[in-house]
Each structure stands twice: as C-alpha cells, then as structure tokens.
Amino acid sequence: MERYAGALEEAVDGARQQERHYQLLSALQSLVKELPSSFQQRLSYTTLSDLALALLDGTVFEIVQGLLEIQHLTEKSLYNQRLRLQNEHRAPLLVRPPAASPH
C-alpha cells in the first residue's frame, strides 16, 4: 500500500511540475512575441522549453538572488567610497588659511 501511495504522490508531483513547466513556457513565448522577428527566430521552442525547465529548478533564482545581494553591497561600498573621497577633497578647501593681503 505504501508503494502505491508513493507512486501516486510522484505522479501528482510530476503533473504539478509539468503544469508549471507549461505555464513558464507560455509566459516565455508571450515575452518572445514582443521581440523583433530577428530575435524571435533565434529562440526555438526547444530553447524556450529548456529555459522553462531550468527555471523550474530553484537554483537559478538562488543564484540571481545572491548576485543581487552582491550588487547591492558593491553599490553601497562604492557610494561610501565616493562620499569619503568627496569629503577628503572638500576638507582642504575648508581648512585653507586666508590668503595674505599684499601691502
């Protein structure tokens, strides 16, 4: 009986995955229709189907999320570096002694 329940569960999971694959494939096909025809010709059904299958795996989303976090940290670091450099360049102007008056 357990074997039957396991097989049924696998079939349901397979059906869900197939439905999700179809949804992703349909969404990708809709996006491709918005592209110029020269690009549409390069994206075959097989390519779109393979892309949809890759999207089913959460690994892609985890990689993108990790890259997004790295980008945010890099941007924050560069922004702070820019502020620090601006302050360093501004500081000599503020501390500069008054010019001696010619007599």
Top-confidence residue, 81 or 4: 81
Does the pTM surpass 0.75? The reply is no
- Give the start-to-end residue ranges of the domains of the chain: 1-57, 58-90
- Which residues touch 25 (CB under 8 Å, ≥6 apart)? 48, 49, 52
Query: pLDDT by residue (tens digit) across 49-95?
Result: 999 998 888 888 899 999 999 999 999 999 999 999 999 888 776 66
Work out the percent of the chain whose per-residue pLDDT is above 70. Answer: 77
User: Is residue 101 pLDDT above 80, yes or no?
Assistant: no
pLDDT at 22: 95
